[in-house]
Amino acid sequence: MSEQLPGLHHMTAICGDAQANVDFYVGVLGLRLVKKTVNFDDPGTYHLYYGDGLGNPGSILTFFAWPGAYAGRHGLGQVTTTALAVPEGSLDWWAERLAQHGIAAGERQTRFGHEVLPFLDPEGIGLELVARADVPEGAAWPESPVPAKYAIRRMDGVTLTVARREATETMLTGVLGFTLVGEEGDRVRFTAAGQGESGSIADIVVAPGAPRGSLGVGVVHHIAWRTPDDATQLLWQQRVHDVGRSVSPVMDRDYFHSIYFHEPGGVLFEIATVPPGFTVDEPAESLGTNLCLPQWLEKDRPAIAAKLPALHSPMDLAEAG
C-alpha cells in the first residue's frame, strides 16, 4: 500500500462544563465553534467541535461534555499534549493573553528548532503553542477575538505517552507509514508525511514509571488521522486488521466516516475521512449556530434539546457589553 496518512484530522477530549469549554476555546483561544451536536453514543450530552473559519480537517478540536463526571488521570496510553501551530513571533502575545485570562503558561522551550509555549486548559488538558514560520494561513475566522496575525492555524502534532517505545514505533512506521524524524531528550518524533511538517507530527514520550491513564474530565479520548476518501480508509482498515490489531467497522459520524483501533501503547487512534465535512447540514456562514443532529435522532429532537444546557457565544456577550 503506497498511500500515506496526510496528517491529523481532529483531537477529541472530555470536558465537564460545556459553557466553560466554549468560553475558553472560542473566547480565549479564538477558535470558531464549527459544530454543536451531541455524542452519537450518548445523545443526552454535547459534542462540540472547534476549528478554523471553515472547520478544515487538521484544525479541529472536539469535546465530549460530561457534566458531573470525575476527573481523568493523565498517564500511559494517552495523548498527553496537543500542540497548536501559531505564526512565528507570536508567543509573547500569547503569553500575555493567557496571563490576562488567568492561565499560567509553563516555561518556554525550544524543541526541534521551534519555540513552544506549554499550558493547561481550565480542566487540565495539556496544550502547547508552537511558533512556526512555515505554518499555512488556513481559513481565518473574521469574528475571532484573536487577530489573524496571531491566530491558531491548525494542530501541529500530538504527544503519545507510553511505557515502551518499540511496539508503538513499529505501528507508526511499519503499519501507518510514518517517518522517524529525530530524537531530543526523552522525546522521539515521527511525521505522517514529509519531514516534520506542521499538522502531521506524533511524538513518543516513554515514561515506564508513570501510572496508567484513565478516562474522565480533562483527558484526551482519542486522536484522529485523516485520509482522503472512503476507499482509502478501507485499505487502512484492512492493513490494521492484517497486523493483528482489533479495528472497528466504519462508523458514520455525519461529517466524516471513522474507524478506530488502539495502537500497542494503548492510545486510541481513529482514521477519519476528509469528506463530507461540516457544511453538510449548515452553510459555512452559520457553522456552529444550530443544534445539529444526525437524521436518525431528529425524531427525538425536542427531548434531546430539553436535556441540554443552553450555550451562548462569548462573542455575543462581548458585543452586548
Is the pLDDT at 231 greater than 90, yes or no? yes
Residue 37, domain member (yes or no): yes
Residue 2, domain member (yes or no): no
Residue 1, domain member (yes or no): no
27-31, 180-184, 196-200: least confident range: 196-200
pLDDT at 2 (0 to 100):
54
pLDDT digits (tens, 9 = 90+) for 80-105: 999 999 999 999 999 999 999 999 99
Inter-residue contact 38 to 297 (CB < 8 Å): yes
Residue 219, domain member (yes or no): yes
Residue 253, domain member (yes or no): yes
Is the pLDDT at 309 greater than 80, yes or no? yes
Total count of domains within the chain = 1
pLDDT at 193 (0 to 100):
77
Residue 251, domain member (yes or no): yes
Is the pLDDT at 149 greater than 80, yes or no? yes
Residue 121, domain member (yes or no): yes
pLDDT digits (tens, 9 = 90+) for 187-212: 999 999 766 688 999 999 999 989 99
CATH number at residue 78: 3.10.180.10
Rounded to whole angstroms, the Cα distance separating 115 from 265 reads 28
pLDDT at 138 (0 to 100):
80
| pTM confidence score | 0.95
Residue 42, domain member (yes or no): yes
pLDDT at 195 (0 to 100):
64
Look up the domain containing 294 and give its range.
7-320
C-alpha cell at 269: 487512534
